[in-house]
Chains A and B, each alone.
Chain A
Amino acid sequence: MSADDPLLSVKGLKIEGRSDETWNPIINGASFDLQKGEVMGLIGESGAGKSTMGLAAMGFTRDGCRISAGTVMFDGVDLVTASAADKRALLGSRIAYVAQSAAASFNPAHRLIDQHTEGPTQHNVMSRAESEADGIELYRKLRLPNPEEIGFRYPHQVSGGQLQRAMTAMAMACRPELIIFDEPTTALDVTTQIEVLASIREIVEEYNTAAIYITHDLAVVAQMSDKIKVMLKGDEVEEADTRTMLSDPKEEYTKSLWAVRSFQRPSKPAVHTSATPVISVQNVSAAYGKVPVLHDVSFDIHEGRTVAVVGESGSGKSTAARCITGLLPPTQGHIEFDGQMMPLDYRKRDRMQLRQAQMIYQMADTALNPRKTIGELIGRPVQFYMGLTGNEKRRRVEHLLEEIELEPTQYINRLPSELSGGQKQRIGIARALAAEPKFIICDEVTSALDQLVAEGILRLLAKLQDELNLSYMFITHDLATVKSIADEVVVMKDGRVIEQGPKDDMFTPPHHPYTDLLLSSVPEMDPDWLTNLLNERGVDNIGDAAVDKM
């Protein structure tokens, strides 16, 4: 191999997956080269085959998948045909992997440092003591708190963002030439994400490591990569260097990806101060067992309005929703509906009160009973709350399906497994509408969906709000969603409301410093955004560190 040969060269790669007794294509022929030290961003929606591609670049396929054609040449070795033992010698030592969820990908039974040193000792790169010292050094470089001590904790004792950095350190343990990053920041909050992104970028540059960075977030990929490859349902769409790709995409699909965040609801006139809110949360505090979670939370939601509740994970957004629905009775304060006090415990609410507040969940997959047909799923609340049976019930279900833009005759007898993610979420919406509520809690309803699909859901929710004069409590950590749908915004942190007000006020300075941090942490498409932000904030004051100082 000569000096200017690529480090990794994938040619005509085809991958098939087995389902229903046949092999179906997942990747239909992909090719790319990666030079030493080069970072390639791999983007596309879920199901585009990004992760499969990333793993195949390591010569690895998940159970039920196989590489049916093509070559993956890594430094002169074809990983497709190499023996299992030859591949094992490369994996971990020269090619490493950083998984999407570090919390799930660290073995819960072993300390971080033991997992860190496993690679170097098993591959005979370093002794245990050397590797341990090196691990601590890497933890320090990745700006983990207490680098000397953190490795001696178990995974469950370390936060998600820190675990993700520890996993990057683990991938670096043998100083590999290539690292596959599979959506490493998708599960993190925006402020934590910055910290991890900056750490990854720095260390990859320092050791001149080549990387494939898989993500569905365009703004993230713009910060991280030298070039970008776009995938759609197993096909290559286009590939170009990052700046060209952002400024001048060639393919229609790429352009549509770039244009996603265009949906914007017009602002509504201010609420009359005298109007009775549909839901009024008044000085509510709540606790799980003895652990206090909410402290004196108050906000109002008016008829026909959307109140977005934003904050990082653990800030108490979903707990507030549980208090409103009565699933978690507050320890103090009360909840008013249309000016009437509601019993705090849902078991003490009558059917009329229960009907008025409905929920749509983040994971439509787990929120729908997989053994019931769509007709049964929506028919159940129609019968329970509205008392309709027989033909009346069926007509109502059909009407609801039309409302959510699914053809009734085609969908009413299907099972949830026969629907796509976006369609399942629509069923979740129809089920909430079936009770004819005035108020719906949307708990991260779009965060498990791809951007185009999510936009469809947001448009649908907006349409329903206009038609039925619904009020929404919209829980999200995605500020782009807030911008597009909210009328008012409530910012939460550590179980307290930090700031609240109309959207336009919230998005125009001056902000509360925490709101400011949240807003400025949302990645932008500009490839220089991260660099500029880091310069602005100063290296020691990004992400976690900034949050801690508040």
Chain B
Amino acid sequence: MASILRIIAQRLALGILTLFVVSIVIFAAVNMLPGDFAQAILGQGATPEAIKAIREDLGLDQPPVTRYLQWLAGALQGDLGNSFAQANFASFAGTTATANSASVAAQLGPRFENTMFLAGVTAVIAVPFSIFLGILAALYRNSVFDRFTNIFTLSSISSPEFFLAYILILFLAVLNPLLPSLSNIYEGMDFGDRLTKTLLPALTLTLAVTAQLMRMTRAAIINLLASPYIEMARLKGMSPMRVIVKHALPNALAPIINVIALNLAYLITGVVVVEVVFVYPGIGQLFVDSVKIRDIPVVQACCLLFATAYILLNLTADIMSIISNPRLRHPK
């Protein structure tokens, strides 16, 4: 147990270092993009005076290193800064932005919650479904069922997500109006409604991640079938299903857990296309919009969030792998 705690502490320390590096890289990358927030928001007809005013207002006229250090100082105190865009819309509307509504945290919070909800619903459907498919494919390997499952999951992972999304909309929303095709989610919705509206994007994402999960499960199990202890289980007269579920699967967990973690990370960070198709108010859309208008504080915060998700999920996967291995759980 002490060793697990040490691993966690090490990883967390490394994770914080990674976050720091990520923040520098993102800051530098956004600064290298042509134009800045002032130009992006005012368009081509903007007068130099107007641009200068906005720049001064937002502190964009200061050297990048100073701005980064200011941002870092704030972030370390838990203040991720204010969104350029929100602050400006507020001032155009004649009001001053309250620190609350324009803050990056206020912008990100609900969006992130939605993204987590979508990822959660998808994971609850996709993980058991793909592991089950993987087990069946391993059990009936090289059969018609195995081949069909492989073809089906491979075709779904090979198709672009928006295409899958439209096909699902066609069959589940247009031809058979079972589910709403728009996922307009707002705060205060009750859970049932929210779930119904999230179901179509979740199914689309399920199709996108199933292939990898299912094929890894299948491969990890088949990889073990030549082991002496599997032969032993068969020689004890155990049924093929029991051999796979009871004898092979527990030993195949480590690679499966790692693939699950990678796919969950993808669900949190990489689903912008699906969000656009279903107008789902997730974090991906916010991120893309913010890059477009060079809203650096929001971009920074999104990136940090994504990086954190990756780090935490991988850490969880490592810990789960350790827990699933009796050699590490019960040292001699």
A 55-102 contacts with B by CB, 8 A? 55, 58, 60, 62-63, 87-93, 96-97, 99, 101
Asked if residues A91 and B236 are in contact (CB atoms below 8 Å), the reply is yes
B 83-123 contacts with A by CB, 8 A? none
Q: Is A550 an interface residue (CB 8 A)?
A: no
Q: Is B247 an interface residue (CB 8 A)?
A: yes
* Cα distance A88–B241 in the bound complex, in angstroms: 13
Q: Which of chain A's residues have a CB closer than 8 A to the CB of B227?
A: 104
Digitize B288-332: 1 where CB-to-A-CB distance is under 8 Å, 0 elsewhere: 000000000000000000000000000000000000001100101
Chain B residue total in the interface (Cβ 8 A): 22
Q: Is B188 an interface residue (CB 8 A)?
A: no
Q: Is A110 an interface residue (CB 8 A)?
A: yes
Q: Which residues of B contact A (CB under 8 A)?
A: 226-229, 231-239, 242, 246-247, 250-251, 326-327, 330, 332
Shortest distance in angstroms between B223's beta carbon and chain A's nearest beta carbon?
14
Q: Is A122 an interface residue (CB 8 A)?
A: yes
Asked if residues B237 and A123 are in contact (CB atoms below 8 Å), the reply is yes
Asked if residues B232 and A105 are in contact (CB atoms below 8 Å), the reply is yes
Q: Which of A97, A101, A108, A110 is in CB contact (< 8 Å) with B235?
A: A97
* Cα distance A326–B282 in the bound complex, in angstroms: 59
- Beyond A55-B235, A109-B250, A109-B251, 14 additional contacts (C-beta under 8 Å) are A62-B231, A91-B235, A91-B237, A92-B236, A92-B238, A104-B229, A105-B229, A107-B229, A107-B247, A108-B229, A109-B326, A118-B246, A122-B236, A154-B327
Q: Which of A101, A122, A156 is in CB contact (< 8 Å) with B242?
A: A122
Asked if residues B332 and A156 are in contact (CB atoms below 8 Å), the reply is yes
Asked if residues A88 and B229 are in contact (CB atoms below 8 Å), the reply is no
Q: 8 nearest interchain CB pairs? A: A91-B237, A92-B237, A92-B236, A109-B250, A104-B228, A88-B237, A97-B235, A105-B228
Q: Is A119 an interface residue (CB 8 A)?
A: yes
A 94-139 contacts with B by CB, 8 A? 96-97, 99, 101, 104-110, 118-119, 122-123
Q: Is A157 an interface residue (CB 8 A)?
A: yes
Q: Which of chain B's residues have a CB closer than 8 A to the CB of A156?
A: 326-327, 332
Asked if residues A154 and B232 are in contact (CB atoms below 8 Å), the reply is no
**What are 7 residue pairs bridging A and B, where the CB atoms are less than 8 Å apart in the complex?**
A97-B232, A105-B228, A105-B231, A107-B251, A108-B251, A109-B326, A123-B237
Given A104-B227, A157-B332, A58 and B235 touching (CB < 8 A)?
yes
List the A residue with the shortest CB-CB distance to B229. Answer: A107
- Chain A, interface residues (CB within 8 Å), range: 20 to 34
List the A residue with the shortest CB-CB distance to B240. Answer: A84
Q: Which of chain B's residues have a CB closer than 8 A to the CB of A109?
A: 247, 250-251, 326
Q: Which of chain A's residues have a CB closer than 8 A to the CB of B226?
A: 63
* Cα distance A93–B238 in the bound complex, in angstroms: 10
Asked if residues A118 and B232 are in contact (CB atoms below 8 Å), the reply is no
* Cα distance A156–B242 in the bound complex, in angstroms: 23
Shortest distance in angstroms between A478's beta carbon and chain B's nearest beta carbon?
24
Q: Which of chain B's residues have a CB closer than 8 A to the CB of A106?
A: 229, 232
Asked if residues B237 and A101 are in contact (CB atoms below 8 Å), the reply is no
Q: Which of B236, B237, B250, B332 is in CB contact (< 8 Å) with A110?
A: B250
Q: Which of A55, A105, A154 is in CB contact (< 8 Å) with B330?
A: A154
Q: Which of A55, A118, A119 has the most CB of B within 10 A?
A: A118
Asked if residues A108 and B238 are in contact (CB atoms below 8 Å), the reply is no
Asked if residues B235 and A60 are in contact (CB atoms below 8 Å), the reply is yes
